[in-house]
Structure 1
């Protein structure tokens, strides 16, 4: 599957990028607050929303992120191919975001007997059976770390596997992170409760 922007890369990706503000997630039954969908070809699925909080105190745990995507008609993102991985990297690169990892929809299942290796126990919460993985060199570490993030730590010094940028890491599910939603079937409604000033709906063409 080939993913490529139809417009000039710099302005197009920046224009197509979506930044959502999510407020009072805990206890709220409202949809995700305003934002934009990014869909292939303008209408073809899947579509995505990238939710980034500059203020780390507003970030959410894995279950809160999963529930927020579900309320909005989607799922935490499953990344099924290398091309899809690179597409999402482009979205995040154009955020000019500071340090802050992103929850994706991968988590470890309960161990089924002693013969199953830890890395084989991870499954997508949206039911995808894709075996594509993009682990950092020494991950998954398993133990108490069950839920998976995509690294985004541009200010961190490189580790043994290079920079902590876009590879995957298993983390404790109660950690607070940004997150990415994916909409694979019908186009979700995005009637927002609040729109940031200047925000508008946009279907991007790929």
Structure 2
């Protein structure tokens, strides 16, 4: 693990840009493979270590693999856009002394609420998004949801009983708790 000091623009320096041309974190270097984009990294690690711990990709069952793919795409295309904007407005801007745009928060909260209504229905039938097994589709939700839960808009999660139970389950997993113990959040 090599920390990158974003506050001084280390992620915009030529050495870092050679690994991540968009100047963003994270980057993974594993032997001769260099990857960027968190979902690609998570998928790579999940595949590489599929025989250790939980098989997050469900590669042994084509139907389950397909459902993981569907719900991973739902996270990327439906869930992430509004939640990442909300977290930026309510958390990141505050860290840099910027002013929250409440109109943006309100609009994105409505969009996220609509997505969470779909999740509530899905989680009424299944313990996790792709089925009754924890997968990469669930794991991909953890970072932004963690920060959302530190804001008043945690009510978007907490007001939906199945979504709340799902969040409590995935956020209490030992692997995530280990990450939190080693993180400065």
Taking structure 1 as the reference length, the TM-score comes to 0.27
User: Higher helix share goes to which structure?
Assistant: 2
Which structure: greater strand fraction?
A: 1
Q: Which of the pair has the greater relative contact order for Cα pairs under 8 Å at 6+ separation? A: 1
Q: Which structure would you say has the larger Rg?
A: 2
